[in-house]
Amino acid sequence: MVNSEFEPRRPVLVGDTADVFLQRTLTILRNESINPVVTIEFSPYRSGVICGIPEVLALLAKVLPETGSEVWALEEGETVEAKEVSLRVKAPYGSVGLYETAICGILAASTAWATAARECVEAANSTPVIALGARHLHPNVAANLDYASIIGSCVSCTTIQGARLAGVTPAGNMPHALVLLMNDTVRAMEAFDRHMPQEVPRIALVDTFKDEAEEALNVAGVLKERLRGIRISTTLERGGVSPDLVKETRGRLNQAGFSHVEIMVSGGFTPEKIRQFMNAEAPVNVFGVGSYIASSPPNSFEADIHEIESRPIAKRGRIPGITSNPRLHRVM
């Protein structure tokens, strides 16, 4: 079933984002009246978590003929091995060839982001991870990043569009800007509490002006049971967030009767840093991860023609004919 939220943009549909040699190829083939049915297989260079299939299907639904086409794919979110065929398209070349660039790009970026997210989630064991990566790349793909992070098992993300694509509720508390503008963490949190709907969790950022544990106690003392949690995102100039800082904050909150207050940490977290916190038994309730997921290098996909009019064919070094993969299922 095609997800309408992944409506392809006009530049993709008209081929403006395609490699120009594909445009030129179609021009030549049209003038030569050549348009055979081909089978193209897409596979990744590296293993990972496959992601981007719904977006590819939304594109193919727009461009493939209603009859005479077949699309086979892995399930979104499945683990995929290097060189494993993840997507197979059988259709007239004139309807699909122009979109090789877009399909490879969608799968390469989305799979890389989902894989990086899964690495963080696995490092965190059962502790939830929220994706904070939108500010680390271009806004045109921020929602796709957030969607891929959810496919990679993050529990939520920060952009509204990304959360809508993934079918989750966006997560977010307050930025340092709010605290700076109101010149006081408690005052900022009181305003947050007054104006935000009740379903929005009250989570205070506590590292802007004062000691993190002190500020956590100040906010908890005012909001009491309404305070869901605190977020610590201490700057690198002050040493960043550490397991000991989390332990101290947890201990002081517990001693003051605020054991219900959760602790979220963010700021430069990677799978390795998450494991350090887990090994130190730091009492973290939620990890926020941004740049590690967003900066993951693309897992490049290659597209190969393996059949032309049902005749096995391939370039040198590849095996002609359809590549067997029983995990593929027909999706179109």
Range list of β-strands (E), 151-292: 156-157, 203-205, 229-232, 262-266, 286-289
Query: Model confidence at 51, in pLDDT bands (50, 70, 90)?
Result: very high
* Phi-psi domain of 230 (left: phi exceeds 0; alpha: psi -120 through 50; beta: other): beta
| Tokens of residue 20, six digits | 């120009």
Cα-Cα-Cα-Cα dihedral of 256, 257, 259, 261, to 10°? -80
Dump pLDDT digits (tens) for 242-266.
Answer: 999 999 999 999 999 999 999 999 9
Q: Is the dihedral of CA 243, 249, 252, 257 positive or negative?
A: negative
Q: According to the model, what pLDDT value does residue 5 have?
A: 81
Dump pLDDT digits (tens) for 66-106.
Answer: 898 999 999 999 999 999 999 999 999 999 999 999 999 99
Instruction: Give me the domains of the chain, ranges plus CATH numbers.
Output: 4-112+297-330 (3.20.140.10), 115-294 (3.20.20.70)
Beta pairing, strands 311-312 & 329-330: unpaired
Please determine, for residue 3, whether its predicted confidence score (pLDDT) is greater than 80. no
Q: According to the model, what pLDDT value does residue 2 have?
A: 63
Please determine, for residue 172, whether its predicted confidence score (pLDDT) is greater than 90. no
Mean pLDDT for the stretch of residues 108-112: 98
Please determine, for residue 1, whether its predicted confidence score (pLDDT) is greater than 60. no
Q: According to the model, what pLDDT value does residue 7 have?
A: 92
Instruction: State pTM to two decimals.
Output: 0.95
